[in-house]
Amino acid sequence: MISGDRQMRIIGTVLDGCMQRHKVIASNLANIETPGYKRLEVRFEEQLAAAVENGDDRELDEVEFAPRPSEGLPVRPDGNNVDFGTELGEMSKNTLLYSTFAQLAASRIRQYREAMGESS
């Protein structure tokens, strides 16, 4: 991480959250046939938005990516509440978010390289 660059810290936090979310979605898919398994999710955007709004960079380090049970979902007779279509949709959204922020990170690094007179 580029020291002192708030934008890169925010980008890094989003990338970390997306990576954790991807692992949880993959786990949900792996357990789609496990009786009694309850879907988990990673939600960090609200906490990240609050940290950005407050302007306290220390709060960026405190954004949590802990998986939490999803609530209010229909449960199948075997007690499992994972839906294949929902997981694929969430994975697609998460992949798009990750790709967008990875491109932002690459662009920011390119800007630093240009400022230092380095070529890509």
Q: pTM for this structure? A: 0.86
Question: What average pLDDT does range 38-66 have in this prediction?
Answer: 91
Nearest C-alpha neighbor of 106 from the set 3, 18, 4, 7: 7
- For 99-120, what is each residue's pLDDT tens digit? 999 999 999 988 888 888 866 5
- The pLDDT assigned to 3 comes to 56
Q: Is 51 left (phi over 0), alpha (psi -120 to 50) or beta?
A: alpha
Question: What burial class does residue 42 get, using C-beta atoms within 10 Å of its C-beta: 0-12 exposed, 13-18 middle, 19+ buried?
Answer: buried
Calculated CA dihedral for residues 117, 102, 60, 19, nearest 10 degrees: -140
61 CB burial (10 A radius; 0-12, 13-18, 19+): exposed
Once rounded to an integer, what is the mean pLDDT over residues 22-50? 96
Over range 88-101, report the average pLDDT. 98
Query: What pLDDT is recorded for position 5?
Result: 84
Average confidence score pLDDT of the chain: 92
Residue 1 pLDDT greater than 80, yes or no: no
Half-sphere exposure of 57 (CA within 13 A, CB side): 10
Of the listed ranges 21-25, 31-35, 80-84, 116-120, the one predicted with least confidence: 116-120
> Would you call 12 helix, strand, or coil by DSSP?
helix
Asked whether the beta carbons of 103 and 10 are under 8 A apart, the reply is no
Q: What is the pLDDT of residue 111?
A: 86
